[in-house]
A and B are shown apart, each in its own frame.
Chain A
């Protein structure tokens, strides 16, 4: 009975995600004049396999196996399902009939319909096959994957993004370092801060201090101030420095988080 529920829900989810992924990917070939939804790596990879249905298919297939293993192990599809498997398989099916890329892969309508069908088959397949896996296997997978993932998220990712920010120029290195440290303090992970540092640093490198870059910088600082406040970082910091907490600040907190 539960399998049936999972099956029906998966078809709905797969149809919606597949359709949107297909339309979004095809629109990428028309960006920036058309606002698209996708990823730079998808754009690059699809360009690399352009025109050859077999390349598109096998590229998707390699990531499909990885995604399947990950779904069986931890219930997570990996981002490759939307980034790589669905768009590339849709492209390969369309290219079988018509080799003209502009009329097939770059066409949001055709990509959307074919991708929707692929999603409606793929998502139920992944979910049903993994839901029928014995619990002992999932325990093993979680015991292995969770520690690995923790290290990846908390150490490897921040360091790689940080080094990339430093290598990208003095400005993004400086903003990345400051925002990265602040993000790690407030949010517990440095990656979002470093990403925003690169955004601001490279934005100023490319555009100078225009209205847009100033808005981004102000929005970033507002993001830090607000999330610091809502997570009670200000109170914790004052306590750690052994400074008394002003009454007005305590009052503000009790207004926002009534307990």
Chain B
């Protein structure tokens, strides 16, 4: 323990140093990219919001990978810039969305299916991508900033991002109602119960919709 505190001052140990940052990003990317690989193979395991995974799903079901690729890649770009400037690389935008959705979408749209579908290869691909991202941040940080205290409007983006999450609950209920009457009733009741329990609405709306959808299935 004493050693760790001393290391914080020197910032040279693995746990605190900038040089170890690419390794940490590499491990995170490895897991997230492989998670997307599992989603492509088994339909579970994507580390992202339903809304964002749906864009990848659109590509997988025969529509264009374009939206997922553009959305993910531009988020990654913006977050890598921001991350090196601010000192906190935003996990959601850079790794979960950029590496987890954007890069697989680009690869799949180009016909490169092996790195995404083969699990060991996905682990390796994710690791390499993460280390590259970490190195870019390491060098951008080393040669440009570190001195400036600007936030680059990170607070503004975070505020808008959190606000977005609040819309999902009502949207799911409205969407459930247009799917069928029983599912709509289920979603409304589920969301109300979750709200009464002080839980986020989307969880209750989804569970309620699924419960009623199980007993009153909709024709496909």
Query: In chain A between 192 and 227, which residues have their CB closer than 8 angstroms to a CB of chain B?
Result: 192-193, 195-196, 198-199, 201-203, 206-207, 211-212, 215-216, 219, 223, 227
How many angstroms from the CA of A33 to the CA of B149 in the assembled complex? 11
Q: Is the CB of A17 within 8 A of B28?
A: yes
**Cβ–Cβ contact A192 & B35, under 8 A:** no
Q: Complex formed: what's the CA distance from A146 to B175 in Å?
A: 9
* Inter-chain contact total with CB atoms closer than 8 Å: 358
Q: Does A242 reach chain B (CB closer than 8 Å)?
A: no
Q: Is A131's CB within 8 Å of the partner chain B? A: yes
Q: How far is the CA of A153 from the CA of B67 in the complex (A)?
A: 10
Q: Which residues of B contact A206 (CB under 8 A)?
A: 149-152
Closest to A108 in B: B15
The listed residue with most B CB atoms (<10 A of its CB), out of A36, A37, A75, A202, is: A37
Q: Which of B25, B28, B50, B95 contacts A73 (CB 8 A)?
A: B50
B: interface residue count bin: 35 or more
- Given the complex, which residues of B lie within 8 Å of A31, measured CB to CB? 86-88
Are the CB atoms of A16 and B31 closer together than 8 Å?
A: yes
Is B11 within 8 A of A33, CB to CB?
yes
Number of A residues contacting the other chain (C-beta, 8 Å)? 117
Q: Could you tell me the distance between the alpha carbons of A195 and B74 in the complex, rounded to whole angstroms?
A: 10
Known contacts A32-B87, A38-B91; decide if A76 and B8 are in contact (CB<8 Å): no
Dominant SS at the A interface?
A: helix
B172 A153 Cβ-Cβ under 8 A: no
Most buried by B among A18, A36, A130: A36
User: Ordered nearest first, which 5 A-B pairs have the shortest CB separation?
Assistant: A32-B87, A202-B153, A140-B213, A192-B74, A17-B31
Residues of chain A whose beta carbon lies under 8 Å from any beta carbon of chain B: 2, 6, 9-10, 12-21, 23-24, 27-28, 30-43, 62-63, 65-66, 68-79, 81-83, 102-103, 107-109, 112, 119, 123, 126-127, 130-131, 134, 136-153, 156-157, 160-161, 163-165, 167-168, 172, 183, 186-189, 191-193, 195-196, 198-199, 201-203, 206-207, 211-212, 215-216, 219, 223, 227, 231
